[in-house]
A and B are shown apart, each in its own frame.
Chain A
Amino acid sequence: MTRTSLAAAAARIAIAAGLTAAGAPIASAQVVGVSAAVKNDVRIRVPGTPLPRPVQVKQRVALRDQVQTGVKSQLQVLLLDKSVFTVGANARLTIDRYVYDPSRNTRSFGATVARGAFRFASGRRTTGGTSTISTPVASIGVRGTIVEGVVGEAAALIAAEETAVGARMRGDPATASLIVLRGPGRATQGNAAPGSITVTSGGRTATADRPLLAIYVPGPGMAPIGPFPISPGGLMQLQALLHPALADRFGWRQPADNLATVPPGQGMPLYPAPRDRPRLPRPPMPGGGFDDEPPGQRGVQLPNLPNLQPPPPRPRTQAPPPRPTNQPTPTPQPRTAAPPPPPSPAAAPTPTPTPNQPPSSVAAPPPPPPPPPPSLKSAPPPPPPPQQFNSVPPTATPPPPSNPNQPPGQPGKPSQKPPPPPPPK
Chain B
Amino acid sequence: MTVRDLLLPGLLACAWAAPAQAQADPVRELDALIDRSGDPASAMALARSQIGEGDLLGAAATLERVLIDFPDADDALLLHASLLCRLDDRPGARAELASLNGVAGSGAAWAEVTAACGPVPRPGRGE
Residue contact A31 to B88, C-beta cutoff 8 Å: no
The interface residues of chain A, by DSSP majority, are classed as mixed
Q: Which of A177-195 contact B (CB under 8 A)?
A: 182-192, 194
User: A86 at the A/B interface (Cβ < 8 Å)?
Assistant: yes
Minimal beta-carbon separation of B117 from chain A (angstroms): 12
Interface size class for chain B?
35 or more
- Pick from A10, A25, A248 the residue with the most CB of B within 10 Å: A10
Which of the 9-residue segments A11-19, A287-295, A309-317 touches chain B?
Answer: A11-19
Distance A13 CA – B22 CA, assembled complex (angstroms) = 10
- Pick from B67, B87, B98 the residue with the most CB of A within 10 Å: B87
Residue contact A37 to B55, C-beta cutoff 8 Å: no
Residue contact B68 to A74, C-beta cutoff 8 Å: yes
User: B118 at the A/B interface (Cβ < 8 Å)?
Assistant: no
Q: Given the complex, which residues of A lie within 8 Å of B51, measured CB to CB?
A: 190
Q: Given the complex, which residues of B lie within 8 Å of A74, measured CB to CB?
A: 68
Given A37-B69, A250-B101: A14 and B96 interface contact (C-beta under 8 Å): no
Contact with A along B45-59 (1 / 0, CB 8 A): 000000101111110
Instruction: List 6 interface pairs A-B (beta carbons < 8 Å), by A numbering.
Output: A14-B18, A26-B27, A34-B31, A76-B65, A184-B57, A188-B56
Q: Which of A80-129 contact B (CB under 8 A)?
A: 80-82, 84, 86, 100, 102, 119, 121-123
Distance A357 CA – B33 CA, assembled complex (angstroms) = 48
Residue contact B54 to A190, C-beta cutoff 8 Å: yes
Contact with A along B77-104 (1 / 0, CB 8 A): 1000000101111011011101111110
User: A135 at the A/B interface (Cβ < 8 Å)?
Assistant: no
Distance A27 CA – B18 CA, assembled complex (angstroms) = 11
Minimal beta-carbon separation of B8 from chain A (angstroms): 11
Contact with B along A25-57 (1 / 0, CB 8 A): 111000101101111000000000000000001
Minimal beta-carbon separation of B62 from chain A (angstroms): 9
Other A-B contacts than A23-B16, A24-B17, A211-B92, 20 sampled, CB-CB below 8 A, are A6-B11, A11-B22, A14-B22, A21-B16, A27-B19, A34-B30, A57-B34, A60-B27, A80-B30, A84-B64, A102-B26, A123-B58, A183-B89, A185-B89, A188-B86, A191-B54, A212-B89, A236-B96, A245-B71, A250-B103
Q: Given the complex, which residues of A lie within 8 Å of B113, measured CB to CB?
A: none
Q: Given the complex, which residues of B lie within 8 Å of A60, measured CB to CB?
A: 27
User: A335 at the A/B interface (Cβ < 8 Å)?
Assistant: no
User: A232 at the A/B interface (Cβ < 8 Å)?
Assistant: yes
Given A27-B20, A188-B86, A211-B88: A76 and B68 interface contact (C-beta under 8 Å): yes
Residue contact A36 to B33, C-beta cutoff 8 Å: yes
Distance A34 CA – B61 CA, assembled complex (angstroms) = 14
User: A160 at the A/B interface (Cβ < 8 Å)?
Assistant: no
Q: Given the complex, which residues of B lie within 8 Å of A57, measured CB to CB?
A: 34
Distance A263 CA – B27 CA, assembled complex (angstroms) = 52
Please give me the residue from chain A that is nearest to B71 by CB atom: A245
User: B41 at the A/B interface (Cβ < 8 Å)?
Assistant: no
Which residue of B20, B30, B89, B99 contacts A250 across the interface (Cβ within 8 Å)?
B99
Residue contact B56 to A31, C-beta cutoff 8 Å: no
Minimal beta-carbon separation of A253 from chain B (angstroms): 9
Minimal beta-carbon separation of A146 from chain B (angstroms): 7
Residue contact B30 to A249, C-beta cutoff 8 Å: no
User: A71 at the A/B interface (Cβ < 8 Å)?
Assistant: no
Given A26-B24, A190-B86: A78 and B98 interface contact (C-beta under 8 Å): no
Please give me the residue from chain A that is nearest to B70 by CB atom: A245
Distance A251 CA – B124 CA, assembled complex (angstroms) = 13
Please give me the residue from chain A that is nearest to B56 by CB atom: A190
Q: Which of A257-295 contact B (CB under 8 A)?
A: none
Please give me the residue from chain A that is nearest to B60 by CB atom: A121
Distance A25 CA – B55 CA, assembled complex (angstroms) = 32
Distance A251 CA – B92 CA, assembled complex (angstroms) = 18
Minimal beta-carbon separation of B123 from chain A (angstroms): 9
- Pick from A33, A57, A119 the residue with the most CB of B within 10 Å: A57
